[in-house]
Amino acid sequence: MPGKILVTGAAGFIGSHLCERLVKEGYDVVGVDSLTDYYDVRIKRENLRELKGNEKFTYYEHSLNDMDLGSLIGEVDVIFHQAAQAGVRASWGNRFEEYIDSNIRATQRLCEAAKNHPIRRFVFASSSSVYGETTNLPMGETQLPKPVSPYGVTKLASENLCLLYKKNYNLPAVCLRYFTVYGPRQRPDMAFHKFILRAMKGKPVEIYGNGTQTRDFTYIDDVIEANMSAMAYNGSESVFNIGGGSRVSLNSALDILHDCCNLELDVRYKDAFKGDVKHTYADIALAQRELNYKPKVKLDQGLAYEVEWVGRLIRKLGDS
């Protein structure tokens, strides 16, 4: 069993689930998060609520951009770097500064601080957004990445930084390219959270484009399982797709929300957003072979869990 584990972005959607899994397995976890205001920080505090009562969890509310990372990293031997300014559509315009700071600069600072320490594993949360628009489906890890959003550009830059430090300083980096993650605690800017919340409040849901775009939706527990395998991984591969195992159109996902989750949806079709790719679909053969990765949760089941959670969130936070 390793010593302490650092999880950056610990108050976020994926980071908080990961911290909970790690403490449950008996690891000592140090969580860092600056609680950015990209979305309601009450949700992030709620994500942390149970963790904060756990003696195996230490929490620092700081930005990776200005904290002393050397002394923080000195006491850990595994790093899960989940912190980022996420979100594809918000990455145009003035907000790009935040993407540079939280994605590129923060990752460079973390790699620079980690290179001098005997870290056993450095897992980076990469993204399907590095691929960009492609007709070559499913997307394989060796495909030339050509992001089409400013966010995707910063995730690709961050991934490349991790790989540069691996090559030059033996940083034991593994990059997991997650494909549209969903489930309880999903960020409120993401499609399913928005659709469920708005349906429960009797408000219309907006579809960007005609709904024929497809996503390889990946349930949160499967993503956490992939992270656990990446921590234990001893092989030489560096980049893995982590997808849900199937490709579904947004219109079909709306049908599931209606038919399986009993949500009445008032759907309005709007213009597509620049930077949103039309299709994603992960080739997960490499993750299957090297990480023994096998997504388990099907979309109808995963959406039912998310619906349940959004209901609880509304009761807790009121008009969030």
> Minimum distance between the CB of residue 241 and ligand UGA, rounded to whole angstroms?
10
The phi and psi torsions of 177 (rounded to 5 degrees) equal -90, 95
Closest to 240 in 3D by CA, of 162, 169, 303, 135: 162
Q: Which does 102 bind (CB under 5 to 8 A by kind): ligand NAD, ligand UGA, none?
A: ligand NAD
Nearer to ligand UGA, 60 or 208 (CB): 208
Among 39, 151, 165, 178, the active-site one is 151
Residue 82 binding target from ligand NAD, ligand UGA, none, CB below 5 to 8 Å by type: ligand NAD
- Residue with smaller CB distance to ligand UGA, 73 or 230: 230
Nearest CB to ligand UGA, comparing residues 190 and 265: 190
Q: How far is the CB of 10 from ligand NAD (least distance, A)?
A: 7
By a kind-dependent CB cut-off of 5 to 8 A, residue 115 interacts, out of ligand NAD, ligand UGA, none, with none
Nearest approach, Cβ of residue 216 and ligand UGA (Å): 8
| Contact residues: ligand UGA, CB under 6 A | 86-88, 127-129, 178-180, 190-191, 194, 206-208, 213, 215, 250, 273, 276, 280
Judged by DSSP in three states, 45 sits in helix
Tell me which residues touch ligand NAD (CB under 6 A). 8-9, 11-15, 32-36, 38, 44, 63-65, 82-86, 102, 106, 125, 127, 155, 178, 180-181, 187
**Alpha carbon separation from 137 to 156, 252, 276, 309 (Å, rounded):** 19, 19, 16, 32
**Burial class of 144 by CB neighbour count within 10 A (0 to 12, 13 to 18, 19+):** exposed
- What is the nearest approach in angstroms of ligand UGA to the Cβ of residue 296? 19
Q: Which is nearer to ligand NAD, 227 or 307 (CB)?
A: 227
Q: Which amino acid is at 68?
A: D
Buried b (16+ CB within 10 A) or exposed e, 196-227: bbbbeeeeebebeeeeebbbbbbbbbbbbbbb
Nearest to ligand UGA of 172, 244 (CB atom): 244
- Is 269 marked active-site? no
CB of 264 to ligand NAD, least distance (A): 26
**Cα–Cα distance between 285 and 292 in angstroms, integer?**
10
Q: What is the 3-state secondary structure (H, E, C) of 273-299?
A: CCCCCCECCECCHHHHHHHCCCCCCCH
Residue nearest to ligand NAD (CB): 12
Residue 12 interacting partner from ligand NAD, ligand UGA, none (CB closer than 5 to 8 Å by kind): ligand NAD
Cα–chain center distance at 13: 7
Q: Would you call 194 exposed, middle or buried from its count of C-beta atoms within 10 A (0-12, 13-18, 19+)?
A: middle
**Cis amide prior to 118 (ω within 30 degrees):** no
Active centre residues (catalytic): 151
